[in-house]
Amino acid sequence: QQQVKQSPQSLIVQKGGIPIINCAYENTAFDYFPWYQQFPGKGPALLIAIRPDVSEKKEGRFTISFNKSAKQFSLHIMDSQPGDSATYFCAASIGGAQKLVFGQGTRLTINP
Amino acid sequence: NAGVTQTPKFQVLKTGQSMTLQCAQDMNHEYMSWYRQDPGMGLRLIHYSVGAGITDQGEVPNGYNVSRSTTEDFPLRLLSAAPSQTSVYFCASRPPGQGVNGYTFGSGTRLTVV
């Protein structure tokens, strides 16, 4: 049973466009929602994270939007660049717990 | 400071063989974890450790053993490899108190079981 559901599986966007990746969760005990970026042959790296007491968090060109009532959160990439082409994972955890639950991943391609 | 180092990077095993995936970190992190990554499944937690001598099971522990005799090392053992264990394995570590924000992942071990 996938506790965090991510969509779409793959996404192709032109340079400068705004790709949006969505995640939904069921467990209301989750209280920390990070996004990871993974390039081929590398391990995931933390991109940005949010707690449910805020509805939006922005770091550079990356923005997380959070809808607590709908139990959904999304990643937006402004002014996307070919270098943003990677696989993106959303995740969730409870407090400072050791266990991260990941979404299925989205392979993003930014065409020049 | 090398971060999290995983060896080997690639491995092919025959069904029934055993092997150990190595993970070492030089950041004095107390928390270490093993994940496996499969297409369409994201990353799933296999085992984790909150310090030397302490380990616990994650979401998919069957077929894997771990031990943590030192802070630096957290090896993952496959006692009798099965084709279902074909996957990319990632080790991760973080210091206590930083929550999931502090996770550092290794570059992975790609394992194929034939």
Taking an 8 Å cut-off on Cβ atoms, the answer to whether B99 and A32 are in contact is yes
Eight-class DSSP state of A93: B
Find tokens 């080790």 and name the residue. B91
The two tokens of residue A59 are 């770091």
pLDDT digits (tens, 9 = 90+) for A72-110: 999 999 999 999 999 999 999 886 666 889 999 999 999
Out of B92, B99, B106, name the one closest to residue A96 (CB).
Answer: B99
pLDDT number for residue A94: 81
pLDDT digits (tens, 9 = 90+) for A5-34: 999 999 999 999 999 999 999 999 998 899
Taking an 8 Å cut-off on Cβ atoms, the answer to whether B107 and A41 are in contact is yes
Taking an 8 Å cut-off on Cβ atoms, the answer to whether A44 and B106 are in contact is no
Say if residues B35 and B44 touch (Cβ distance below 8 Å).
Answer: yes
Of A62, A88, A109, nearest to A4 by C-alpha is: A88
Find tokens 């192709």 and name the residue. A12
Out of B43, B45, B105, name the one closest to residue A45 (CB).
Answer: B105
The two tokens of residue A110 are 């930014």
Evaluate if residue B11 carries a pLDDT over 70: yes
**Phi and psi of B70, rounded to 5°?**
-130, 165
Out of B31, B43, B48, name the one closest to residue A102 (CB).
Answer: B43
Query: Helix/strand/coil (H, E, C) string of A26-40?
Result: CCCCCCEEEEEEECC
pLDDT number for residue A69: 94
CB atoms within 10 A of CB A57: 16
Distances (CA, A) of A91 to A6, A39, B96: 9, 17, 19
Q: Which residues of A touch B35 (CB under 8 A)?
A: 102
